[in-house]
A and B are shown apart, each in its own frame.
Chain A
């Protein structure tokens, strides 16, 4: 499998502040990859060093085998980036912008593909409207369209769904998933962990400029999350005292008990039966990305103390 993005030992400083600290990362062609982390972790900075919008102080970045500085023309041709900041050129209409953007990549007759992305992103009604007159969500769609005009093999989206309504989020992800099935490599950052969980094969967790986890979604969830939650509604409605040490919460009159493996379920049920408690409702909650996220962030928080 070929490597779409190779980041080797990249450091990036802003003055004395280290925004990226020896980041290494390989993203394979065809992957759907998420870059996650709290605000200020360095996700945008990492994307900028890949896109050539920021220049790494040390280390090397390649896109489809092209060095992003020494071979910038080839690297940039392979890349489509949706920047995080909402930016637009107020002098032009949506279609003018997309034609101009195509021209930058040497495409003179791109109207068929432009028509298609306009439809796929729900911009038909706005195609001949000036950028200034569009709402924030619409401007965001145009930015996505701009990143796609040259059908780049590698597409990076920096929080593309921030400030975008649910309907567009869904249709945007449908479109991006289709592009991924057609072989485009997708890298995204998002604040909605459920989006990353639903879409991505692999994730990198960034914190304070460092990658603190890099694995497939399943591996991360099964190894990093701590166990499962057993949620019980009981009659009479109180928890025997010997279970209080594993209780982690209450939820609409249910008790949440934390367990490490399925084998603990049967002994718990047996003990409850002995004390005469009747179970009225039972749920076993699987850990999700959010648990991994919170867990990892806390863990490395203690490590760095």
Chain B
């Protein structure tokens, strides 16, 4: 247990020491989206009846920042210690593979939640965003950031160079996020796109998360939670399997 807590502490400290870049900067850049969409789209688009577009948008942006930062944290920590070589100190230690995995993703969850909270607080101050069912909000935020943290571990292990990691992010993470309904309700899409959206696991994270704010969603939050947790479990098993086999870590 001490070993696990130590690695978790180290991973937390790693991003906390450079909090300006890892927490503040992403909060500010997400708020820029909010500002722009507010000026351009407020009053033109209505997604849920009676909910102004900006208010609708805030939870989506919060979840997007939670997910992106959880992914960025695990993947950059992993690839940095792999490329600089200091991952050996973890590999030489008696930490179990599950302990290593959990330490990485819990740190990612922590960073994701911190950034998400920062974005939400601003949205709440300026746009009066409600929160009806905080339980759902917390469950989807934790499960979603855990899932993205696990994906980050996988991407960080797989990538040999920073540009491969960037490719993973640009071709997998960002499209799945942008097509998951961060900026719109999928009911406003043509039917074919609606079907496709339902195949995207990220859709259920955003949708379930948004349910916690409005009590309204495109899919049932129970179904969404089951799907998110199932994906989280599958990705986690894959990540631990990679750690155990030593794939790209132990030669």
Bound complex: CA A89 to CA B7 (Å): 13
Check B92–A103 contact: CB distance below 8 A. Answer: no
B46 to chain A, nearest CB (A): 47
Instruction: Contacts A51-B92, A76-B92, A89-B81 known; list 13 others, CB within 8 Å.
Output: A52-B91, A53-B91, A76-B93, A81-B92, A83-B85, A87-B88, A88-B86, A91-B13, A101-B93, A103-B9, A104-B90, A106-B2, A146-B89
Which residues of B line the A interface, CB within 8 A? Answer: 1-3, 5-7, 9-10, 13-14, 17, 81, 84-86, 88-96, 246, 250-251
B residues near A157, Cβ cutoff 8 Å: none
Check B251–A103 contact: CB distance below 8 A. Answer: no
**Any B CB within 8 A of the CB of A90:** yes
Interface string of A183-220 (1 = CB under 8 A from B): 00000000000000000000000000000000000000
**Any B CB within 8 A of the CB of A151:** no
Interface string of A93-122 (1 = CB under 8 A from B): 000000011111111100000000000000
Check A108–B2 contact: CB distance below 8 A. Answer: yes
A223 to chain B, nearest CB (A): 36
Check B250–A103 contact: CB distance below 8 A. Answer: no
Indicate whether A89 sits within 8 Å of B89 (C-beta atoms), given known contacts A103-B5, A103-B9. yes
Check B251–A54 contact: CB distance below 8 A. Answer: yes
Residues of chain A from 105 to 152 with CB closer than 8 A to chain B in the complex? 105-108, 146
**Any B CB within 8 A of the CB of A73:** yes
Closest to B2 in A: A106
**Any B CB within 8 A of the CB of A72:** yes
Bound complex: CA A48 to CA B250 (Å): 9
Bound complex: CA A107 to CA B236 (Å): 28
**Any B CB within 8 A of the CB of A232:** no
Bound complex: CA A187 to CA B246 (Å): 25
**Any B CB within 8 A of the CB of A85:** yes
B residues near A76, Cβ cutoff 8 Å: 92-94
**Any B CB within 8 A of the CB of A169:** no
Check A54–B6 contact: CB distance below 8 A. Answer: no
B residues near A77, Cβ cutoff 8 Å: 94
Give the interface centre of B17, B88, B91 by most chain A CB atoms within 10 Å: B88
Give the interface centre of B84, B92, B96, B246 by most chain A CB atoms within 10 Å: B92
B3 to chain A, nearest CB (A): 5
**Any B CB within 8 A of the CB of A155:** no
A5 to chain B, nearest CB (A): 15
Closest to A78 in B: B94
Query: Chain A interface residue count: which class?
Result: 20 to 34
B62 to chain A, nearest CB (A): 28
B residues near A90, Cβ cutoff 8 Å: 84
Check A85–B14 contact: CB distance below 8 A. Answer: no
Bound complex: CA A26 to CA B10 (Å): 37
**Any B CB within 8 A of the CB of A292:** no
**Any B CB within 8 A of the CB of A6:** no
B residues near A20, Cβ cutoff 8 Å: none
Bound complex: CA A14 to CA B250 (Å): 12
Can you show 13 pairs from A to B with CB atoms below 8 A apart?
Answer: A52-B91, A54-B250, A55-B246, A79-B92, A89-B89, A101-B93, A103-B2, A104-B7, A104-B90, A105-B3, A105-B93, A106-B1, A106-B2
Check B92–A89 contact: CB distance below 8 A. Answer: no
B139 to chain A, nearest CB (A): 30
Check B3–A103 contact: CB distance below 8 A. Answer: yes
Check B86–A55 contact: CB distance below 8 A. Answer: no
Check A107–B2 contact: CB distance below 8 A. Answer: yes
Bound complex: CA A81 to CA B88 (Å): 10
A49 to chain B, nearest CB (A): 10
A residues near B251, Cβ cutoff 8 Å: 14, 48, 53-55
Residues of chain A from 47 to 77 with CB closer than 8 A to chain B in the complex? 48, 51-55, 72-74, 76-77
Indicate whether A73 sits within 8 Å of B96 (C-beta atoms), given known contacts A52-B250, A104-B7. yes
A residues near B250, Cβ cutoff 8 Å: 52-55
Bound complex: CA A55 to CA B246 (Å): 8
Bound complex: CA A103 to CA B89 (Å): 12
Give the interface centre of A55, A90, A91, A108 by most chain B CB atoms within 10 Å: A91
B residues near A106, Cβ cutoff 8 Å: 1-3, 94
A residues near B3, Cβ cutoff 8 Å: 103-106
Indicate whether A72 sits within 8 Å of B84 (C-beta atoms), given known contacts A104-B89, A106-B3. no
A72 to chain B, nearest CB (A): 7
Closest to A97 in B: B89
A residues near B86, Cβ cutoff 8 Å: 87-89
Bound complex: CA A55 to CA B91 (Å): 12
Bound complex: CA A81 to CA B94 (Å): 13
B151 to chain A, nearest CB (A): 23
B residues near A83, Cβ cutoff 8 Å: 85, 88
B186 to chain A, nearest CB (A): 41
B residues near A79, Cβ cutoff 8 Å: 92
B122 to chain A, nearest CB (A): 29
Check A53–B94 contact: CB distance below 8 A. Answer: no
Bound complex: CA A81 to CA B250 (Å): 15
B residues near A87, Cβ cutoff 8 Å: 84-86, 88-89
Bound complex: CA A105 to CA B85 (Å): 20
